[in-house]
């Protein structure tokens, strides 16, 4: 079992590393495949020839391609992401400041979606032939079909403009310097977190629901549910403890998809709410043609996704006792 | 599905030996049965209805829309100019009769919201179908090969898929589109470049379960050439799965396109619902012009939901998930 | 008398309404305390329908159209402290009689659920695949005990039941997938025994077992104190274990009586045919 565990973990690690290599290569190729030199995209008309030459030298565009590629790989794996021309700061420093903010939003949204979504999916899957079942499914799918940013606008309109309950921009209020105490700042942060979180979660929970629902149908037809009923267990116990628990398994395997959805949602939501995180950074960096920053930000998001998937893989093996780290995987 | 299995076995081994072309009739009668069941599903009917309306708009926007796209409130389609007072009153809520008639109100530029909505249908449908077809054309054959041949083919394809799954979708599309230019074609390509992964994985799974069935084994033992075997015994069962994936991909693509448009990364010169929303924001009317904000969002949601509904109804009648 | 089924009729609805299928017509059987009663029939004869109708677990299309199933127990919610039925529920309009019997078919769902497994335990078909893969064997047994006997020491009962069926008590900590088919089958039986029901309804228990596991299981069933309603198409198994036998054919009870009498001198052609087929395969009983 331990050997399986090790081999499985090792395989996942290799895949994770390969993913990051591919992402790096992709970034390298994309930048070089741009029409014209990518350096010329960063130059401004006012620059002198010497300045342009310095920029070109700094990027090493005159070196052979393979050398540029190797240097790129090496730099990225040692955390050397270069200098951001628009932020006038090392890219690594910018990222280090931005990443935690996104992780907070991501993490909270992930938890919110996965607290609600699977439960709804269990109920929908259990009562799929009931009268209200189709209607509930239709409504969930409609919610899932709405653009996140549009939902965010509607929520802002309702909760900020109409009711004035929650702030709708930035991460914290600018406090006067003498008024900074930990508790008010934390509360203020939470209040600012609420709307972006709500926006992502308002749409995101359906993803988990849609994964659980079909699994629940299979569970409802299963022999263990039949036995659980024969044991005289209450319907609620049969639903959540037996059918539900088993229907959760496919969710963890496909949670990678949901994760992707959340990344997308975070990119958009951060833009809507001026949340100073990674997603917004990618968009602004791309629009400002700050390529070193855009590349590195993208790379970092990929790292986060890959690490989270690794974690989910491990979680799956704990959830399903039949499967000890891929031991009986089929 | 289960009640069919024994029949399939015997029949398939018959025609593997050169008897009547049973799978064709099997597939077509099943298609007919599935279609009749589909027409009884409320979700499918709703989806089809929405899709029909959108298709009409996309095919003949000039017949559906109240004005042509060049129409501007107060001045109509002529060369007239807006007075300062008139342009200040824009965007205008729905108003009937004089001075103009725009059923859903106007945008800040004086165009009719309904007119823009109708003309945007074509882009949405085009993006959805093109991206879906493209990702199916890549994903389905690769999934078939992966599941049918197994071995190193499977290993190779699945490792590639595994690795690409780690690439965050929207950031990737953002980077791609920004670097290659924000044309609709590029957006479609970018969406398809990631959407085929899921198709490949799902089709592989279906193919694997089919290949393990006895009638495929029997056909193989009888020496049926690979392409005929796949076409006769595997493809008929993979197609419903592929159809479900197709509509789901279309839905995803439309949403992704709208999102890109919002981020300013879609072609704003072609009329599209995403571009409409982007203009609502760019002109600063998100919170004071609901007649302008709501229709494009609802249109996107309705079309995407229609595809979801069709996908779910399809997977219900064909018993795939 | 532990259970008396009176002219039970069940039909299955089909989507096109007029094609309803009658699975059982006027079926009557009765089971005494402690005996092993065999229900013999081919697949489709309605024997599983009968077993599942008793505990209210027909699938959605199934519908009881008539009959009674008088069972010698009263739902706990309807009894006084001393176990006798409460005076206010005993009447001709309720499923409870003064002699302490209840009509299972007329019981409301919630009360029937209280009786399931506590008094009448249905061990369903394919029981060896019916354990929940997500929980340990012990947890599933304890769950059943706690449901019906909240005050009992569930852990001890679970271990006792396992050892009574020849399984090590430590097996309780295993997940179902590491057990063999025969072991899982016995775990399900143990799960039933742990709640100490008066009647075990066992549906096709020998399917999928090898010869050794099968013999072992039949011995276990025969040695129980509880009455057993053994539903099977396996004539040999019933001949070995059943005290009495009912033969079902096409939804009707064609014959009942002591096993030896039924098999020795079948009253119906159908039973005779079944018996001859069995004898031709070398079967006999002693």
* Termini Cα distance of chain A: 16
Helix (H) or strand (E) holding B209: helix B184-211
Which pLDDT belongs to residue B8?
33
User: Which ipTM value was assigned to this complex?
Assistant: 0.89
Does position A320 have pLDDT exceeding 80, yes or no? no
Pair of tokens at residue A247: 């229907």
A190-194, B11-15, B49-53, B204-208: least confidently modelled range: B11-15
Is B46 within 8 Å of chain A by CB?
yes
Nearest chain A CA: its distance from B227 CA (Å): 27
- The pairing of strands C244-249 and C36-40 is parallel
Helix (H) or strand (E) holding B141: helix B113-149
Does position B17 have pLDDT exceeding 60, yes or no? no
User: Which residues, in sequence order, are bridge partners of residue C24?
Assistant: C10
Which pLDDT belongs to residue C284?
58
Task: Please answer yes or no on whether C134 and A226 come within 8 Å at the CB atom.
Answer: no
On whether the CB atoms of residues B8 and B215 are closer than 8 A, the answer is yes
Is B62 within 8 Å of chain A by CB?
no
Count CB-CB contacts under 10 A for residue C262.
24
Residue by residue, what is the 3-state secondary structure of chain A? CHHHHHHHHHHHHHHHHHHHHHHHHHHHHHHHCCCCCHHHHHCCCCCCHHHHHHHHHHHCCCCCHHHHHHHHHHHHHCCCCCEECCCCEEHHHHHHHHHHHHHHHHHHHHHHHHHHHHHHHHHHHHCCCCHHHHHHHHHHHHHHHCCHHHHHHHHHHHHHHHCCCCCCCCCCCCCCHHHCCHHHHHHHHHHHHHHHHHHHHHHHHHHHHHHHHHHHHHHHCCHHHHHHHHCCCCHHHHHHHHHHHHHCHHHHHHHHHHHHHHHHHHHHHHHHCCCCCHHHHHHHHHHCCCHHHHHHHHHHHHHHHHHHHHHHHHHHHHHCCCCCCCCCCC
Kindly list the residues from chain A whose CB atom is less than 8 angstroms away from the CB atom of residue C60.
129
pLDDT band at C3 (very low <50, low <70, confident <90, very high): very high
Does position C278 have pLDDT exceeding 90, yes or no? no
In sequence order, the 6+-apart residues with CB closer than 8 A to the CB of B91 are B105, B106, B107, B108, B283, B285, B289, B291, B292
Nearest chain B CA: its distance from A154 CA (Å): 8
Pair of tokens at residue A284: 């602004």
Kindly list the residues from chain A whose CB atom is less than 8 angstroms away from the CB atom of residue B167.
19, 22-23, 26, 302, 305
User: Which residues, in sequence order, are bridge partners of residue C257?
Assistant: C245
In chain B, which among 140-179 make CB contacts under 8 A with chain A?
Answer: 159, 162-172, 174-176, 178-179
Does position C95 have pLDDT exceeding 50, yes or no? yes
Does position B206 have pLDDT exceeding 60, yes or no? yes
User: Which residues, in sequence order, are bridge partners of residue C232?
Assistant: C40
Query: A90-119, pLDDT tens digit by residue?
Result: 888 888 888 888 888 888 888 888 889 899
Mean pLDDT score, C48-66:
88
Between CA C55 and CA A232 the distance in angstroms is 9
Which pLDDT belongs to residue B100?
64
Does position A35 have pLDDT exceeding 70, yes or no? no
- Give whole-number Cα distances, B207 to A90, B3, B112, B192, C1, in Å: 50, 20, 50, 22, 56
Q: What is the DSSP string of C6-25?
A: EEEEEEE--TTSTT-EEEEE
Helix (H) or strand (E) holding B19: none
Between CA A203 and CA A214 the distance in angstroms is 19
Q: What percent of chain A has pLDDT over 90?
A: 9
In chain B, which among 20-39 make CB contacts under 8 A with chain A?
Answer: none
Mean pLDDT score, A115-139:
87
What are the φ/ψ torsions at residue B102 (nearest 5 degrees)?
-125, 105
Between CA A186 and CA A206 the distance in angstroms is 30
pLDDT band at B15 (very low <50, low <70, confident <90, very high): very low
On whether the CB atoms of residues A196 and A145 are closer than 8 A, the answer is no
> What are the structural domains of chain B?
58-74+87-319 (1.10.3720.10)
pLDDT band at C177 (very low <50, low <70, confident <90, very high): confident
Which pLDDT belongs to residue A214?
84
Which pLDDT belongs to residue B3?
33
Residue carrying the six token digits 């409320």: B42
Task: Please answer yes or no on whether B258 and A153 come within 8 Å at the CB atom.
Answer: no
- Report the neighbours of B using a cutoff of 3 or more CB pairs below 8 angstroms: A
Between CA C191 and CA C242 the distance in angstroms is 22
Is A236 within 8 Å of chain C by CB?
no
Residue carrying the six token digits 């078939």: B144
On whether the CB atoms of residues B317 and B38 are closer than 8 A, the answer is yes
Query: B92-140, pLDDT tens digit by residue?
Result: 777 766 556 777 888 877 788 888 888 989 999 999 999 999 999 999 9
Is A322 within 8 Å of chain C by CB?
yes
Report chain C's mean pLDDT, rounded to a whole number. 87
Give B203 or B9, the one with higher predicted confidence.
Answer: B203
Secondary structure E strands in chain C: 3-12, 21-31, 36-40, 62-71, 102-103, 120-123, 199-203, 227-232, 244-249, 252-258
Residue carrying the six token digits 């950074």: A281
Nearest CB neighbour to A230, from listed C116, C143, C175: C116
Query: B237-283, pLDDT tens digit by residue?
Result: 888 888 888 998 999 899 989 988 888 888 777 888 988 888 888 88
Helix (H) or strand (E) holding B317: helix B290-317
Count CB-CB contacts under 10 A for residue B86.
18
Kindly list the residues from chain B whose CB atom is less than 8 angstroms away from the CB atom of residue A301.
168, 171
Q: Listing from the earlier edge strand, what are the strands of the sheet with C3-12?
A: C21-31, C3-12, C62-71, C102-103
- Integer-rounded Cα Rg, in Å, for chain A is 24
Kindly list the residues from chain B whose CB atom is less than 8 angstroms away from the CB atom of residue A15.
159, 162-163, 166
Give B47 or A58, the one with higher predicted confidence.
Answer: B47
Query: B131-187, pLDDT tens digit by residue?
Result: 999 999 999 999 998 888 888 888 888 878 877 877 777 877 777 777 777 788 888
Between CA B50 and CA B307 the distance in angstroms is 9
Of B305, C284, B128, the C-alpha closest to B313 is B305
In sequence order, the 6+-apart residues with CB closer than 8 A to the CB of C88 are none
Helix axes C137-148, C181-193, angle to 10 degrees: 20
Query: A270-291, pLDDT tens digit by residue?
Result: 888 888 888 888 888 887 877 7
Does position B4 have pLDDT exceeding 50, yes or no? no
pLDDT band at A329 (very low <50, low <70, confident <90, very high): very low
pLDDT band at B22 (very low <50, low <70, confident <90, very high): very low
In chain C, which among 178-237 make CB contacts under 8 A with chain A?
Answer: 188, 191
Between CA A122 and CA A136 the distance in angstroms is 12
Is B3 within 8 Å of chain A by CB?
no
Pair of tokens at residue C10: 């069940």
Mean pLDDT score, C156-184:
89
Pair of tokens at residue B229: 């075997």
Give A253 or B106, the one with higher predicted confidence.
Answer: B106
Q: What percent of chain A has pLDDT over 70?
A: 82
On whether the CB atoms of residues C231 and C204 are closer than 8 A, the answer is yes
Of A113, A81, A111, the C-alpha closest to A204 is A113
Mean pLDDT score, C56-79:
86
pLDDT band at A319 (very low <50, low <70, confident <90, very high): low
The vertex-A135 CA angle with B296 and B258, nearest 5°, equals 20
Which pLDDT belongs to residue B12?
35
> What are the structural domains of chain A?
3-89 (no CATH), 99-327 (1.10.3720.10)
Q: What percent of chain B has pLDDT over 90?
A: 18
Is B212 within 8 Å of chain A by CB?
no
pLDDT band at C36 (very low <50, low <70, confident <90, very high): very high
In chain A, the residue whose alpha carbon lies closest to the alpha carbon of C136 is A321
On whether the CB atoms of residues A256 and B201 are closer than 8 A, the answer is no
In chain B, the residue whose alpha carbon lies closest to the alpha carbon of A285 is B175
Pair of tokens at residue C21: 């299928």
Task: Please answer yes or no on whether C126 and A322 come within 8 Å at the CB atom.
Answer: no
Kindly list the residues from chain C whose CB atom is less than 8 angstroms away from the CB atom of residue A233.
113, 143-144, 147
Report chain B's mean pLDDT, rounded to a whole number. 79
- Give whole-number Cα distances, B75 to A115, B70, B85, B109, in Å: 54, 11, 13, 12
Nearest CB neighbour to C124, from listed A129, A223, A234: A223
Query: C231-276, pLDDT tens digit by residue?
Result: 998 888 898 899 999 999 988 999 999 998 888 888 888 888 888 8
On whether the CB atoms of residues C242 and C228 are closer than 8 A, the answer is no
Kindly list the residues from chain C whose CB atom is less than 8 angstroms away from the CB atom of residue A228.
132
Which pLDDT belongs to residue A327?
36
- Give whole-number Cα distances, C265 to A309, C36, C273, C274, C276, in Å: 69, 20, 12, 12, 11
Give B184 or A251, the one with higher predicted confidence.
Answer: B184
Is B1 within 8 Å of chain A by CB?
no
Does position C92 have pLDDT exceeding 70, yes or no? yes
Between CA B250 and CA B192 the distance in angstroms is 10
* Contact C/B (≥3 CB pairs under 8 Å): no
Which pLDDT belongs to residue B302?
95
Mean pLDDT score, A215-229:
89
On whether the CB atoms of residues C121 and A230 are closer than 8 A, the answer is yes
Which pLDDT belongs to residue A26?
82
Q: What percent of chain C has pLDDT over 70?
A: 97
């Amino acid at each position: 079992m331990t050997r399986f565990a090790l081999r499985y973990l090792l395989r996942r690690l290799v895949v994770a590393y390969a993913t990051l290599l591919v992402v790096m290569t992709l970034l390298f190729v994309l930048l070089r495949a741009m029409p014209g030199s990518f350096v010329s995209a960063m130059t401004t008309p006012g620059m002198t020839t010497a300045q342009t030459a310095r920029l070109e030298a700094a990027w090493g565009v005159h070196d052979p391609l393979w050398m540029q590629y190797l240097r790129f790989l090496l730099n990225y794996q040692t955390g050397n992401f270069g200098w951001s021309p628009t932020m006038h700061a090392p890219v690594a420093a910018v990222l280090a400041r931005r990443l935690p903010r996104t992780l907070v939003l991501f993490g909270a949204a992930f938890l919110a979606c996965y607290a609600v979504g699977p439960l709804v999916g269990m109920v929908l899957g259990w009562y799929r032939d009931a009268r209200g079942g189709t209607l509930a499914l239709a409504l969930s799918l409609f919610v899932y079909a709405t653009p996140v940013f549009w939902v965010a606008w509607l929520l802002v309109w309702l909760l900020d403009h109409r009711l004035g309950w929650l702030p709708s921009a930035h991460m914290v209020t600018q406090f006067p310097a003498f008024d900074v105490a930990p508790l008010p700042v934390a509360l203020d942060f939470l209040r600012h977190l609420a709307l972006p979180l709500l926006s992502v979660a308002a749409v995101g929970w359906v993803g988990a629901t849609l994964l659980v629902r079909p699994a629940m149908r299979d569970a409802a037809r299963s022999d263990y549910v039949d036995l659980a009923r024969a044991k005289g267990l209450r319907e609620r116990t049969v639903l959540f403890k037996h059918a539900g628990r088993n229907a959760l398994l496919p969710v963890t395997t496909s949670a990678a998809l949901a994760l992707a959805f959340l990344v997308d949602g975070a990119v958009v939501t951060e833009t809507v709410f001026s949340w100073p995180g990674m997603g917004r950074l990618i968009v602004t960096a791309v629009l400002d043609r700050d390529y070193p920053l855009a590349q590195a930000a993208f790379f970092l998001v990929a790292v986060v996704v890959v690490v989270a998937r690794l974690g989910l893989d491990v979680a799956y093996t704990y959830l399903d006792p039949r499967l000890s780290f891929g031991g009986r995987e089929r | 599905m289960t009640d069919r299995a024994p029949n399939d076995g015997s029949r398939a081994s018959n025609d593997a030996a050169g008897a009547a072309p049973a799978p064709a009739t099997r597939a077509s009668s099943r298609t007919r049965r599935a279609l009749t069941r589909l027409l009884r599903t409320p979700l499918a009917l709703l989806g089809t209805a929405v899709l029909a309306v959108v298709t009409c708009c996309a095919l003949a926007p000039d017949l559906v829309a109240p004005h042509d796209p060049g129409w501007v409130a107060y001045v109509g389609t002529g060369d007239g100019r807006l007075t300062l007072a008139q342009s200040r009153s824009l965007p205008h809520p729905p108003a009937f009769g004089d001075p103009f008639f725009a059923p859903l109100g106007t945008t800040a530029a004086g165009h009719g919201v309904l007119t823009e909505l109708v003309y945007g249908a074509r882009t949405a449908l085009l993006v959805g179908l093109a991206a879906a077809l493209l990702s199916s054309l890549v994903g389905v054959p690769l999934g078939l090969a992966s599941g049918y041949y197994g071995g190193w083919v499977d290993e190779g394809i699945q490792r590639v898929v595994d690795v690409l799954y780690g690439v965050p979708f929207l950031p990737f599309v953002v980077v791609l589109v920004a670097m290659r230019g924000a044309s609709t074609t590029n957006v479609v390509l970018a969406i398809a470049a990631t959407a085929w992964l899921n198709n490949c994985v799902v089709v592989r799974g279906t193919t694997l379960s089919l290949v393990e069935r006895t009638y495929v084994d029997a056909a193989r033992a009888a020496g049926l050439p690979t392409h005929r075997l796949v076409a006769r015994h595997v493809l008929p069962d993979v197609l419903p799965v592929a159809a479900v994936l197709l509509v789901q991909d279309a839905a995803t693509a439309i949403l992704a396109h709208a999102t890109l448009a919002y981020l300013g990364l879609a072609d704003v010169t072609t009329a599209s619902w995403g571009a409409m929303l982007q203009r609502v924001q760019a002109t600063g009317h998100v919170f004071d012009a609901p007649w302008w904000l709501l229709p494009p969002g609802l249109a996107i949601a309705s079309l995407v939901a229609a595809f979801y509904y069709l996908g779910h109804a399809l997977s219900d009648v064909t018993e795939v998930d | 008398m532990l259970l008396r089924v009176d002219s039970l009729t069940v039909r299955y609805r089909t989507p096109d309404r007029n094609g309803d299928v009658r699975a059982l017509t006027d079926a009557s059987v009765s089971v005494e305390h402690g005996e092993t009663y065999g229900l013999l029939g081919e697949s489709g004869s309605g024997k599983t329908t009968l077993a599942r109708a008793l505990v209210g677990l027909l699938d959605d299309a199934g519908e009881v159209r008539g009959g009674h199933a008088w069972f010698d127990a009263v739902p706990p919610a309807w009894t006084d402290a001393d176990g006798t039925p409460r005076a206010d529920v005993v009447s001709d309009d309720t499923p409870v009689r003064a002699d302490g019997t209840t009509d299972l078919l007329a019981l409301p769902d919630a009360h029937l659920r209280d009786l399931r497994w506590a008094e009448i335990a249905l061990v369903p078909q394919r029981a060896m695949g019916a354990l929940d893969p997500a929980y340990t064997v012990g947890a599933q047994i304890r769950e059943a005990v706690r449901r019906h006997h909240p005050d009992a020491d569930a852990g001890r009962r679970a271990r006792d039941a396992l050892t009574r069926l020849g399984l090590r008590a430590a097996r309780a900590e295993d997940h179902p997938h590491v057990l063999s088919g025969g072991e899982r089958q016995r775990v399900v039986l143990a799960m039933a025994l742990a709640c100490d029901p008066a009647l075990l309804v066992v549906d096709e228990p020998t399917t999928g077992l090898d010869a050794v596991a099968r013999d072992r299981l039949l011995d276990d069933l025969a040695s129980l104190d509880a009455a057993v309603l053994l539903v099977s198409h396996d004539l040999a198994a019933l001949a070995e274990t059943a005290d009495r036998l009912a033969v079902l054919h096409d939804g009707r009870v064609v014959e009942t009586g002591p096993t030896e009498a039924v098999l020795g001198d079948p009253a119906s052609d159908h039973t005779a045919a079944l018996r001859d087929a069995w004898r031709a395969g070398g079967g006999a009983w002693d």
